Chain A
Amino acid sequence: MGMAKLWIIGTLTVIHIVGILIFTRGFLLTRTELPYYSNCSDVSQSPCSSPNPPQCWTGPAVDRLVIIVLDALRFDFVAPTTFFKESKPWMNRLPILQRLASINGSSSARIFKAIADPPTTSLQRLKGLTTGGLPTFVDVGNSFGAPAIVEDNLIHQLASNGKRVVVMGDDTWVQLFPHHFKKAYPYPSFNVKDLHTVDNGCIEHLLPSLYDEDWDVLIAHFLGVDHAGHILGVDSLPMIEKLEQYNGILEKVIDVLGSQSGQGGLHENTFLLVMGDHGQTINGDHGGGSAEEVETSIFAMGFKKSPSSIPSEFDSSSCEINLDQQKTCISTIQQLDFAVTVSALLGVPFPFGSIGRVSPELYALGAGTWNLESTNGDNSQNHSKEEEWMQNYCNVLCINSWQVKRYIDVYSASSVIGFSLDDLSLISDIYAQAEEIGSCSFKNSLLYNESSNLPLPALRRQIDAYFNFLLSVAELARSKWTEFNLQMMAVGLGIIFFSLLIHFLAIKRITNPYRISLFPSGDFEVSFRLIFAYSVVVIRACSFLSNSYILGEGKVAIFLLATTALFKLWYSVKRKMMLIEAIIFLLLITILRFTIEVGLSKQAMTSQFMSAHSSWMLEIALGHPIWIHIAEIIPISALMLLAYLLYMTMISSSSWGICKYAVLGTILCYILIAVHWASESSISSSVPMLQGIGKNSVPRIIYVMGLGQLLLLAFGQLFNKERALNSEKSLVIKTVAMLSACSSTVIILSGKQGPLIALASITGGYCIMRLENIERDPKDNTARALTFDPLSVTQWSLLATCLFFSTGHWCAFDGLRYGAAFIGFDEFVLVRQAFLLTIETFGFSYILPVFGLPFLVARQYLMGQTEKDGKLLSMQLSQIYLMYGFITATTVIATMICVAIHRRHLMVWGLFAPKFVFDVAGFVLTDVLICLAWLYYLGREDGKKRQ
């Protein structure tokens, strides 16, 4: 019977894993970041003509660059009103840009509509702008916590090619590029309600810096518009004031730059970019993929006049007459193209992972692309300037295409989930076609040769071929990397739902032989309890639909756990029994609540979504030496108490058999841990002999002993034929042995809080066990008495969740305690350290609770009452494990639905996706642990039957 049920559990586990894998394939945008960087020398590998004068990939077209980023700059803030159906109060507030961009103003300034890729948050957009790539999900693999960009990017290329970069404003830049700037004036971007600090800081440094010579690229990032939108929306007075303020600043900046742009001036060949990183909705929100959010603007202006306009077929602009009866043209550019275009203008290598194309309109604004020197030469007479520019641009595109092709090839070779072979061969075909034309692969020197006058149509064909290639790569990458596969997500969800149904039927089937209905009709009280238990699970599951509840998940769990505890207290008052246990349980919950708040305050310090509240608990002066001593002594005495408890349990009964050795080993481990901690602490200074024990040897001994104990128990289970699961006593002994074998490793990994948390979980478990079925009438001994109280299992799982949070974890990758992975080891080995980290993260919240579940079944033995027969016991045990799995599955399903709904949410990558990863990992772990526990506790049942 045990085995017959084991296959149900096994099948469920497999179904869960399959469903989750399919869902994950559809949900996680799994682009891996490659650690490769482009170098100047790489260009020799390209089939393109190497540039004539010794230079990098492209000749520098501008000398200096000023980038002014206005956060959340909507397209209609910049473009003239005539481009829109109706005029709004926030339009036409940056007239300086419109005046310059109009044809009559200056031909070397232009307004672009820039299209961003969602998610449209500042951090993701800055990443996209500088790397020229599409967003990734997690940079877990590379960066532990810090958001610094590790992929090749524009700023890295600037810094490594000797360009001096100055940044001011939003401190996100400094977080993303901690070591790249020559000078940085960061201001905190945290406080959304503060409209002016960042902007005033920018203004303070921007204008003086324009007179300095010690930079090549200047970045000023203003946040006022973003913040004004967040708090008041677009249609508000502060927004208009902000825009008018910016207009004034931009006027001044352009004045300064213009005044110095004469021959030999400081800004003779300076290029100005005024741009937004993303748009915003009328309410000021951004993050999603709606047109208002993704459409932002770039205003570009070169201070050295470029001679003429580019051929009209590459000019995709649309022109309108603006209010001053002047013609203004607006082109469209993808933000993807920004990094590579700026790299080409400044003459630095293109970022390795960029998949953008050099935008013709923006590139043409750079005066240096026009080969002005050659206008003085004689041989240029035959070429029109236009033709020469096309020649130059064709070369740039050639390098561009080669770089993108190289990235796609390297990516497919090194990434687990690359492109499909069909897609790759299609891309290769298009690239080969483009290369075959080979019109611009003439050597530059030939350009000056009169005989090799390139026909214009050939050049155009060549450029079109490159465009075709680059656009199809971008399209393919977009579909692979930024679009969720909704079908796969739906299939995955469907599979998990199906498994939930099977789960439910399995619970029913197991109880069937005993004619116990899960939904007893007629008895109001029993069904009320059932409904209460289910509604607690459902409330918790539904709470995952909101980001606030996910952030405060620990609080929600405590709230629900305390509610169930109050419910139990209510019953214990009703039955006039076990009042003390109920009160102790409530007290324990109160204590756990405070530990969770400490964890939350830690999280708030690192999280970008939570505001840091100074917790009253942290205000207690911890510096006093007495506190230090107490903090050292308490864990050790708690550990001794645990060892004592274990010892008392062991000597209280005989017939322990092989389990006795496991428990003895654990007691030894506890003593070792105590010695280890004592030797690390300041107490040890008085006991010099303790210092001799190595820092790493004790943890290693404990790991080995834990493994040995587990093996011992497994072999004991395997070879001990006669001891079947026939009494609650043997079940209790097995459970204690198993828990003690696991506990020593978990405790040493958890650090000083370990023993205290272990004591808390023992107390909590004891209270839940005692209070189980308190609702039932004690005299009622009918079949209904045999069924198990789902409320207790719910409490057990809620307690496990609370323990997860009270041990200082939270569902984010910066919530992992990486230090724990190095207890006992100094060097990093991925598998070993990941294993330790998993045990530390899920130890108290998944491993111990799952193995401890049999206590709930064996309560009657523990309470000194009559024993049940073996069959009934195994039925209850299977029931309880299935219920536990069911509860976990319900919450995970809720998380999956939530990420599916919120896939375009602002916080999807920061909050929902990590939560999903943690939940799914915990879910699979629970399934596997349930299988193991099933084998361990129930496996022998089968052997008994066969004999």
Chain B
Amino acid sequence: MQSKKANEDVSPDLKVRPSVSATSPESLWNERFLWGLGLIQASINDQISNRKKHRMSKASTWNSSQSMSITQAFLIHLICGLGLAVGICVAHNVYSINLISHPSHTLCLILAVETPIVILLYSCFRQNPDKCSYLKAVVRAILGLSVGALISALGAIALGAPVGIQYLLKTINWSLLISLFTCVPAASVFGSSWADWQRIFAHTKPNRSIEYMICIPAHTAIIGAWFGAWPMPLDWEKPWQEWPICVSYGAMVGYLVGIVASLGLAIVRGRKQHHKGD
């Protein structure tokens, strides 16, 4: 539901763009999606060329706070948020299922849409791009996805998630979702650099824009999921109180809030740096 709202919030921006008359919602979505990808690709190319320029100008320290503009941050977040919305929309419109009626199927669909987006996008911003190929970043992101899912599943069970055969698939899907929000971006950007992981997740001291973009949504997604578990024991007998529906909603809402917060922070930081630059 929340994601749908987000979707409605974002769509007006897109509608400004003169588009070929929208024949069907699906084609419209696909089109928008492709358009977004194209834009991001352009900006990535931009960035790479920037970096090349940097390297040519012998800027030996890799100051990436300048390497990533606010527009890029905005686009990445926009696409991630849209991916979530598209996943829910596809589930709702194409397969006519939703999180409440078919939790694991819907989660699967959302994952299927969102995972490639997140992995492919964040892998572009991998650390030390000279030493680490794009493919390697993608592979370690997939590895991060499974390890993160395992850890979050264990954490959920410690916190009281139900255990049993009938919950197995739901728990796996949910923990993949959480892992996607938290571990995957970090895995594709940092790889196995423990110091960076510790800096971001334990000390919460992100420096660069991309680190903010990893750190804040990850934390808010976990906090959202934690709060999402609160209504579960209540006796309202609503279908969404089941594991893992409200927790997934909580995680998604948290993630979206984190996206907005990190964008806001990026803008503030950008202004500050702008002032400094002046």
**Inter-subunit contact B160/A574 (CB<8 Å):** no
**Inter-subunit contact A562/B233 (CB<8 Å):** no
**Inter-subunit contact A593/B160 (CB<8 Å):** yes
Instruction: Name the interface residues of A614-668: CB closer than 8 Å to any CB of B.
Output: 616
Whether B129 is near chain A, meaning CB under 8 Å from some CB there, is no
**Inter-subunit contact B233/A556 (CB<8 Å):** yes
**Inter-subunit contact B159/A548 (CB<8 Å):** no
Interface string of B200-226 (1 = CB under 8 A from A): 011100000000000000000000001
**Inter-subunit contact B233/A565 (CB<8 Å):** no
Give Cα A551–Cα B233 distance, bound, in whole angstroms: 9
**Inter-subunit contact B163/A616 (CB<8 Å):** yes
Q: Which chain B residues border A566 with CB–CB below 8 Å?
A: 155, 158-159
Query: With A574-B198, A574-B202, A616-B165 in contact, is A559–B160 under 8 Å at CB?
Result: yes
Whether B229 is near chain A, meaning CB under 8 Å from some CB there, is yes
**Inter-subunit contact A589/B158 (CB<8 Å):** yes
Write the nearest CB–CB distance from A589 to chain B, whole angstroms.
5
Q: Which chain B residues border A546 with CB–CB below 8 Å?
A: 234
Give Cα A576–Cα B154 distance, bound, in whole angstroms: 21
Whether B277 is near chain A, meaning CB under 8 Å from some CB there, is no
**Inter-subunit contact B163/A565 (CB<8 Å):** no
Instruction: Name the interface residues of B145-185: CB closer than 8 Å to any CB of A.
Output: 154-155, 157-160, 163-165
What range describes how many residues of B lie at the interface? 10 to 19
**Inter-subunit contact A559/B235 (CB<8 Å):** no
**Inter-subunit contact A562/B165 (CB<8 Å):** no
Give Cα A570–Cα B223 distance, bound, in whole angstroms: 14
Write the nearest CB–CB distance from B120 to chain A, whole angstroms.
29
**Inter-subunit contact B160/A555 (CB<8 Å):** yes
**Inter-subunit contact B233/A574 (CB<8 Å):** no
Instruction: Name the interface residues of B212-251: CB closer than 8 Å to any CB of A.
Output: 226, 229, 233-235
Query: With A546-B234, A549-B233, A563-B226 in contact, is A570–B159 under 8 Å at CB?
Result: no
Whether A751 is near chain B, meaning CB under 8 Å from some CB there, is no
Give Cα A573–Cα B203 distance, bound, in whole angstroms: 9
Q: Which chain A residues border B201 with CB–CB below 8 Å?
A: 570, 573
What range describes how many residues of A lie at the interface? 20 to 34
Give Cα A576–Cα B199 distance, bound, in whole angstroms: 12
Q: Which chain B residues border A571 with CB–CB below 8 Å?
A: 202
- Which of A548, A555, A558, A576 contacts B235 (CB under 8 A)? A548
Q: Which chain A residues border B229 with CB–CB below 8 Å?
A: 559
**Inter-subunit contact B203/A574 (CB<8 Å):** yes
Nearest B residue to A590 via CB reads: B158
Give Cα A562–Cα B229 distance, bound, in whole angstroms: 13
Write the nearest CB–CB distance from B165 to chain A, whole angstroms.
7
Q: Which chain B residues border A565 with CB–CB below 8 Å?
A: 158
Q: Which chain A residues border B164 with CB–CB below 8 Å?
A: 616
Nearest A residue to B235 via CB reads: A548
Give Cα A548–Cα B154 distance, bound, in whole angstroms: 25
**Inter-subunit contact B202/A570 (CB<8 Å):** yes
Query: With A549-B233, A552-B233, A555-B233 in contact, is A562–B198 under 8 Å at CB?
Result: no
Q: Which chain B residues border A738 with CB–CB below 8 Å?
A: none
**Inter-subunit contact A548/B202 (CB<8 Å):** no
Whether A875 is near chain B, meaning CB under 8 Å from some CB there, is no
Give Cα A587–Cα B203 distance, bound, in whole angstroms: 24
Give Cα A555–Cα B160 distance, bound, in whole angstroms: 7
Write the nearest CB–CB distance from A563 to chain B, whole angstroms.
7
Give Cα A555–Cα B202 distance, bound, in whole angstroms: 27
Instruction: Name the interface residues of A541-582: CB closer than 8 Å to any CB of B.
Output: 546-549, 551-552, 555-556, 558-559, 562-563, 565-566, 570-571, 573-574, 576
Whether A65 is near chain B, meaning CB under 8 Å from some CB there, is no
**Inter-subunit contact A562/B159 (CB<8 Å):** yes
Give Cα A616–Cα B164 distance, bound, in whole angstroms: 6
Q: Which chain B residues border A573 with CB–CB below 8 Å?
A: 198, 201-202
Query: With A563-B226, A573-B198, A574-B203 in contact, is A558–B159 under 8 Å at CB?
Result: yes
Give Cα A531–Cα B180 distance, bound, in whole angstroms: 30
Whether A586 is near chain B, meaning CB under 8 Å from some CB there, is yes
Give Cα A59–Cα B233 distance, bound, in whole angstroms: 56
Nearest A residue to B155 via CB reads: A566
**Inter-subunit contact A593/B158 (CB<8 Å):** yes
Give Cα A505–Cα B158 distance, bound, in whole angstroms: 36
Give Cα A590–Cα B155 distance, bound, in whole angstroms: 9
Query: With A570-B202, A574-B203, A616-B165 in contact, is A562–B234 under 8 Å at CB?
Result: no
- Which of B158, B163, B226, B233 contacts A548 (CB under 8 A)? B233
Instruction: Name the interface residues of B47-106: CB closer than 8 Å to any CB of A.
Output: none
Give Cα A565–Cα B158 distance, bound, in whole angstroms: 10
**Inter-subunit contact B158/A562 (CB<8 Å):** yes
Q: Which chain B residues border A552 with CB–CB below 8 Å?
A: 233
Write the nearest CB–CB distance from A918 to chain B, whole angstroms.
19
Nearest A residue to B157 via CB reads: A590
Write the nearest CB–CB distance from B220 to chain A, whole angstroms.
15
- Which of B155, B160, B203, B235 contacts A547 (CB under 8 A)? B235
Q: Which chain A residues border B203 with CB–CB below 8 Å?
A: 574
Nearest B residue to A591 via CB reads: B158
Give Cα A573–Cα B160 distance, bound, in whole angstroms: 23
Q: Which chain B residues border A562 with CB–CB below 8 Å?
A: 155, 158-160
Give Cα A282–Cα B229 distance, bound, in whole angstroms: 31
Give Cα A102–Cα B164 distance, bound, in whole angstroms: 61
Q: Which chain B residues border A551 with CB–CB below 8 Å?
A: 233, 235
Instruction: Name the interface residues of A582-604: CB closer than 8 Å to any CB of B.
Output: 586-587, 589-590, 593-594
**Inter-subunit contact A559/B234 (CB<8 Å):** no
Nearest B residue to A588 via CB reads: B158
Q: Which chain B residues border A555 with CB–CB below 8 Å?
A: 160, 233
Write the nearest CB–CB distance from A555 to chain B, whole angstroms.
5
Write the nearest CB–CB distance from B216 to chain A, whole angstroms.
16
Q: Which chain A residues border B163 with CB–CB below 8 Å?
A: 594, 616
**Inter-subunit contact B202/A586 (CB<8 Å):** no
Write the nearest CB–CB distance from B168 to chain A, whole angstroms.
11
Q: Which chain B residues border A594 with CB–CB below 8 Å?
A: 163
Nearest B residue to A589 via CB reads: B158
Write the nearest CB–CB distance from B188 to chain A, whole angstroms.
21
Give Cα A574–Cα B163 distance, bound, in whole angstroms: 30
Give Cα A559–Cα B159 distance, bound, in whole angstroms: 5
Query: With A552-B233, A566-B155, A574-B203 in contact, is A558–B198 under 8 Å at CB?
Result: no
Give Cα A566–Cα B157 distance, bound, in whole angstroms: 12
Write the nearest CB–CB distance from B235 to chain A, whole angstroms.
5
Write the nearest CB–CB distance from B40 to chain A, whole angstroms.
33
Write the nearest CB–CB distance from B139 to chain A, whole angstroms.
25
Write the nearest CB–CB distance from A573 to chain B, whole angstroms.
5
Write the nearest CB–CB distance from B246 to chain A, whole angstroms.
14
Q: Which chain B residues border A556 with CB–CB below 8 Å?
A: 233
Write the nearest CB–CB distance from B30 to chain A, whole angstroms.
40
Give Cα A276–Cα B233 distance, bound, in whole angstroms: 33
**Inter-subunit contact B234/A548 (CB<8 Å):** yes
Give Cα A574–Cα B155 distance, bound, in whole angstroms: 18
Q: Which chain B residues border A549 with CB–CB below 8 Å?
A: 233-234
Give Cα A594–Cα B163 distance, bound, in whole angstroms: 9
Q: Which chain A residues border B165 with CB–CB below 8 Å?
A: 616
Give Cα A547–Cα B154 distance, bound, in whole angstroms: 29
Give Cα A586–Cα B156 distance, bound, in whole angstroms: 11
Give Cα A587–Cα B157 distance, bound, in whole angstroms: 10
Interface string of B130-155 (1 = CB under 8 A from A): 00000000000000000000000011
Q: Which chain B residues border A574 with CB–CB below 8 Å?
A: 198, 202-203
Nearest A residue to B236 via CB reads: A548
Q: Which chain A residues border B235 with CB–CB below 8 Å?
A: 547-548, 551
15 contacts between A and B (CB under 8 A): A548-B233, A548-B234, A548-B235, A549-B233, A552-B233, A555-B233, A562-B155, A562-B158, A566-B158, A566-B159, A573-B201, A587-B158, A590-B154, A593-B157, A616-B165
Complex A-B, nearest 6 residue pairs according to Cβ-Cβ distance, in ascending order: A574-B202, A552-B233, A616-B164, A548-B234, A548-B235, A562-B159
* A contacts, CB < 8 Å to B: 546-549, 551-552, 555-556, 558-559, 562-563, 565-566, 570-571, 573-574, 576, 586-587, 589-590, 593-594, 616
Not counting A562-B159, A573-B201, A616-B165, a sample of 8 additional A-B residue pairs whose C-beta atoms are within 8 angstroms of each other reads: A547-B235, A548-B235, A565-B158, A570-B202, A571-B202, A574-B203, A586-B155, A593-B158
